[in-house]
Amino acid sequence: MYNGLSFLDTLYSDHTTMEKRIVLGITGGVAAYKAAELARLLVKAGYSVDCILTEAATHFIGIATLQAITSRPVYRDLWDTRVPNGMPHIELGRNTAAILIAPASADFMAKLVHGRADDLLSTLCLARDCPLLVAPAMNQHMWEHPATRRNAAQLTADGVTLLGPAVGEQACGETGLGRMLEPEDLFAAFTAFLQPKPLLGKRVLITAGPTFEPIDPVRGLTNLSSGKMGYALAAAAHAAGAEVTLVSGPTALSTPWGVARIDVTRALDMLEAVERRAATCDLFIAVAAVADYRPAVVAASKLKKTGRDRTPNMTLELVENPDILARIASLPAPPFCVGFAAETESMLENAQAKRLRKGVPLIVANRAQDSLGQDDAELTLIDAHGTHLLPLANKPTQARRLIEHIAQLLHPTEP
Ligand code: C5P
């Protein structure tokens, strides 16, 4: 069902975030205009967002904009009489999952370090009993100044989570470290922060997307895999606390926040990348649609249909590709291996046979015709004990459910 969220919007959102209240603090910096997009992503993901601006922030972004996006009052004044008990610095921090300050100026970071409380946002930060995350945004020299370095280190020591900054073009015309993270990355990092961490300390390796088996320099054999499921799983595993490496075939998707991505093309490259890391990972999830065969010979120059060699028919000799999943599952001390089975018919029987043939404890079955390239999927999890249905939902939601299921299998005693 379409709910107005793009694929990226839904990557980290689900029913568990609904009704979660958060405070989005906005301080004075050009990047404040991006806070509107961040607020939009959070609202769409089901968060109730209260925006609190410093006086300087109001020079960069309009209160009406944020009010329209969040459908909530926007606050700025320590003496705001709209809060019934007259204590917005206490009230606005109650029942709050976290405070995110984006952008956080150099001045505001300094205020936080010293516990100053001379406006609503700084007073709320001092009075809070919830996590505080800050997304610094400033000129590169301000960020590199020893005072800011000290402040950033002190904030970390005080338990504040710093998100960014990023390197790139700055509003002042310079290029360097100090840009605020992009709203999509902040959204991903912040919402991942709020998720439970059942995979904390685990190393997870995931394959995703198609492989491309070259025939000549411009042609090849590939398949319709979009990579969406594997990328969603990488995001969900990272949000669950894991250190995630994504070995990806060619896709149009951007790398999920916090995930290390290795780009490969052919099945053989994918195998090499996976084998290099398999021994040190705890969990291997093979989602990639790996080509079963590759051309025996790759032509060094473009094959022509004209000329002396022209024939009405053409035969390509193919050789079998290695089965990456089966190889990893047969290691002497394999990680916990999860496979996918996209089937067009006899789904359960074929998937179960595949599970046994490849020697993996868990296989995830889906109907190829319903899920290839789609945003939604229905998944059936098959293990030694039987089947478990994950009813139709978008792939990010399915990814979270699957990661929760796997975490339960890895730690059967934990809730
Ligand atoms: O045999 P089939 O391709 O249907 O198996 C699908 C599962 O095996 C998926 O998890 C896929 O990533 C994995 N696989 C693999 N290497 C191959 C073929 C499939 O890792 N060469």
* Per-residue pLDDT reduced to its tens digit, 46-60: 999 999 999 999 999
> Ligand 1 mean position to 327 CA, how many Å?
10
Q: Does residue 47 line the site of ligand 1, with CB under 6 A?
A: no
Q: Does residue 223 line the site of ligand 1, with CB under 6 A?
A: no
Given this model, what pLDDT does residue 309 score? 65
Same domain, 78 and 15: yes
pLDDT in tens, 382-393: 999 999 999 999
CATH of the domain at 269: 3.40.50.10300
pLDDT in tens, 296-330: 999 999 988 776 667 778 889 999 999 999 999 99
Same domain, 212 and 137: no
Question: Which pair of tokens denotes residue 143?
Answer: 């960020």
Please state the rounded mean pLDDT for residues 59-82: 96
Lowest mean pLDDT among 45-54, 67-76, 90-99, 308-317: 308-317
Of 168, 194, 220, the residue that ends a domain is 194
For residue 295, is it within any domain? yes
In the predicted structure, residue 338 carries a pLDDT above the cut 80: yes
In the predicted structure, residue 239 carries a pLDDT above the cut 90: yes
Given this model, what pLDDT does residue 84 score? 86
Given this model, what pLDDT does residue 7 score? 41
The pLDDT mean for the chain works out to: 92
For residue 239, is it within any domain? yes
For residue 372, is it within any domain? yes
For residue 2, is it within any domain? no
Rounded Cα distance, 46 and 43, in Å: 5
pLDDT more than 90, % of the chain:
82
- Torsion angle of C-alpha atoms 212, 218, 219, 220, degrees rounded to 10: -20
Same domain, 13 and 131: yes
**Number of domain units in the chain:** 2
CATH of the domain at 12: 3.40.50.1950
pLDDT in tens, 22-44: 999 999 999 999 999 999 999 99
Q: Does residue 321 line the site of ligand 1, with CB under 6 A?
A: yes
In the predicted structure, residue 240 carries a pLDDT above the cut 70: yes
Same domain, 189 and 210: no
Provide the annotated active-site residues.
172
> Ligand 1 mean position to 227 CA, how many Å?
14
For residue 1, is it within any domain? no
Closest CA to 409 of 269, 282, 234: 282
In the predicted structure, residue 3 carries a pLDDT above the cut 60: no
pLDDT in tens, 132-168: 999 999 999 999 999 999 999 999 999 999 999 999 9
Q: Does residue 323 line the site of ligand 1, with CB under 6 A?
A: yes
In the predicted structure, residue 412 carries a pLDDT above the cut 90: no
Task: Cite the beta strand spans of 225-322 per DSSP E.
Answer: 243-248, 260-263, 283-286, 293-295, 318-320
Same domain, 164 and 235: no
Tell me which of 113 and 304 has the higher pLDDT: 113
- Domain boundaries, position 89: 7-194
**Residue 374 pLDDT grade (very low, low, confident, very high; cuts 50, 70, 90):** confident
Q: Which atom of ligand 1 is nearest to the CA of 343?
A: 4
Given this model, what pLDDT does residue 413 score? 57
Look at the block and give the residue holding tokens 């505080």.
132
pLDDT more than 70, % of the chain:
93
pLDDT in tens, 270-294: 999 999 999 999 999 999 999 999 9
Same domain, 169 and 263: no
Q: Which H or E element spans position 374?
A: none
> Ligand 1 mean position to 286 CA, how many Å?
7
Same domain, 223 and 332: yes
Same domain, 127 and 248: no
Residues 222, 231 contacting (CB under 8 angstroms): no
Given this model, what pLDDT does residue 375 score? 87
pLDDT in tens, 341-364: 999 899 999 999 999 999 999 999
Question: Which pair of tokens denotes residue 354?
Answer: 């595949």
Q: Which atom of ligand 1 is nearest to the CA of 358?
A: 8
Of 145, 162, 194, the residue that ends a domain is 194
